[in-house]
Amino acid sequence: MQTFKDPLRHGHLRVSIDSDTKIVNVGYFGSNWVDPSVKGKYDSVEDLPEDIQKKIATLLFAPTESQDVVASEVVGVGKHLSESVFWIYM
């Protein structure tokens, strides 16, 4: 049986993609994870580390938050908060 990390203990990334420029901003929330290969700004999604790209691709199929729906969590992956904002669990 696969176990998943608790995002509150292990942290998560807030990934936002500018709809005009496609520049990706990444912010880290948490205290127990540090990966020097993840920087704060990328020219495009294709420049992100592969594991983060895969999680974003998975979350694109999850509903986003709206007035009627709370963002669906994909266990072990994250949440798709809006058209261009994701929480990625690390």
Grade residue 66 by pLDDT with cuts at 50, 70 and 90.
Answer: low
The arithmetic mean of pLDDT across residues 60-72, rounded, is 70
> What tokens appear for 33 in the block?
């994870």
**Predicted local distance difference test score (pLDDT) of residue 3:** 45
- Structural contact between residues 59 and 77, judged by C-beta atoms closer than 8 angstroms: yes
Helix spans in the chain (H)? 7-10, 50-59
Residue 2's CB is within 10 A of a number of other CB atoms, namely: 5
Q: Where do the structural domains in the chain lie, given as residue ranges?
A: 7-89
Residue 22's CB is within 10 A of a number of other CB atoms, namely: 14
> What's the pLDDT tens digit per position in 15-63?
999 999 999 999 887 766 566 667 889 999 999 999 999 999 999 888 7
> Rounded to an integer, what distance in angstroms lies between the CA atom of residue 2 and that of residue 79?
19
Phi and psi at 28, nearest 5°, equal: -105, 135
pTM, entire model: 0.78
